[in-house]
A = this chain, B = another copy of it.
Amino acid sequence: MSLIKVSARSRTASVAGAIAGVMREAGRAEVQAIGAGAVNQAVKAIAIAKGYLAEEDVHIICVPVFVEVLIDDQERTAIRFLVEPR
């Protein structure tokens, strides 16, 4: 399953569309963000995707988990949101 990576500069509507697309195809999605700006965009995108998918009677929930990721050989703590149907 493709991991949707979100940055502080990601457009929330675009990310929401990606989340909805992956949910329709795979039935679940994973959204990753590092830093407050990115986490905020990810959360807003999930809230928007929730609206899109509710129109199709799919009601999503999310579970935030910490994951350690390597970026330029540096370990960073990311938040990964597991998005699933309720």
Contact = CB atoms under 8 A, between A and B. Distances in A.
Contacts of A84: 61
A43 interface: yes
A86 B82 CA distance: 13
Interface residues of A, number: 21
A84 to B, nearest CB: 8
Interface in A18-73: 35-37, 39-40, 43-44, 46-47, 50, 60-66
Interface of A: 8, 35-37, 39-40, 43-44, 46-47, 50, 60-66, 79, 84, 86
11 contacts: A36-B36, A36-B37, A36-B39, A43-B43, A44-B64, A50-B63, A61-B62, A61-B84, A61-B86, A62-B62, A62-B63
